[in-house]
Structure 1
Amino acid sequence: MKGSRFTEEQIIGMLKEQEAGMTTADVCRKHVVSTATFYKYKARFGGLEVSDARRLRALEDENSKLKKPLAEAMLDNAILKDVASRKW
């Protein structure tokens, strides 16, 4: 999956510009993003501060690191159950 070319700080800055009174079209034109992308950012980062966004990113990274060992353990468990259920 391709990452965003904007950091969380930049995205929150865009949202704050729109909240300050600029039209959505002007903000999108200024930062060269589509309106669909802008609204996707607004759905994800709307109402967040920069520190909240950093914390969200850290939690997402930690979650992905924890999911990988869990998936491997579940796969090992399924393999062992399959082997144990067979008759030799």
Structure 2
Amino acid sequence: MPGKRYSTEQIIAKLREAEKLQAQGATIPAVCKKLGVSDQTFYRWRQKYGALKEDEAHRLRALEQENARLKRIVAEQALDISMLKDVQRGNF
């Protein structure tokens, strides 16, 4: 059964809610149950997004998208270079 996909903003909002619940004395398992996520997911989110603010999360997403785009460009150029070398050697 596939899980839900949360946006970065939703994750940060859930982490802020978790901080409030913990300040009120709730345990981590209780907080996770209220948020509707597993303990493992909560800890993973906290490790990745714990210190981020919403505007920083937008910036992070933009950088990740730009990085993915640049990786695709580099891969395409490497393929083009490889093909041109093969043609130059006559291996076609």
TM range (shorter): 0.7 to 0.9
The answer (yes or no) to whether the contact 1:11–1:41 under 8 Å persists in 2 is yes
Is the 8 Å Cα contact of residues 14 and 27 (structure 1) preserved in structure 2? no
Alpha-carbon offset, residue 16 of structure 1: 2.0
In the other structure, the counterpart of 2:18 is: 18
Amino acid at match of 1:84: Q
Among 27, 34, 48, the alignment partner of 2:31 is: 27
- Per-residue deviation at 1:46? 1.2
What TM-score does the superposition give when structure 2 sets the normalisation length?
Answer: 0.77
Secondary structure of residue in 2 paired with 1:25? helix
Identity of aligned residues (%): 45
Read off the aligned partner of 2:69 and give its amino acid letter. Answer: K
SS of residue paired to 1:5: coil
Deviations 1:3-62 (A, max 9, x none): 962222221122223333232212210121111111111111011101111110011111
* Residue 67 (structure 2) pairs with residue 63 (structure 1): yes
TM score, norm. by length of structure 1: 0.80
- Structure 1 unaligned segments of length 5 or more: list them: none
Give the count of matched residue pairs. 86
Unaligned runs of 5+ in 2: none
- In 2, the alpha carbon distance for the partners of 1:67 and 1:32 equals 35
Residue identity in the other structure for 1:6: Y
Which amino acid counterpart does residue 47 of structure 1 have in structure 2? A
Superposed CA RMSD: 2.2
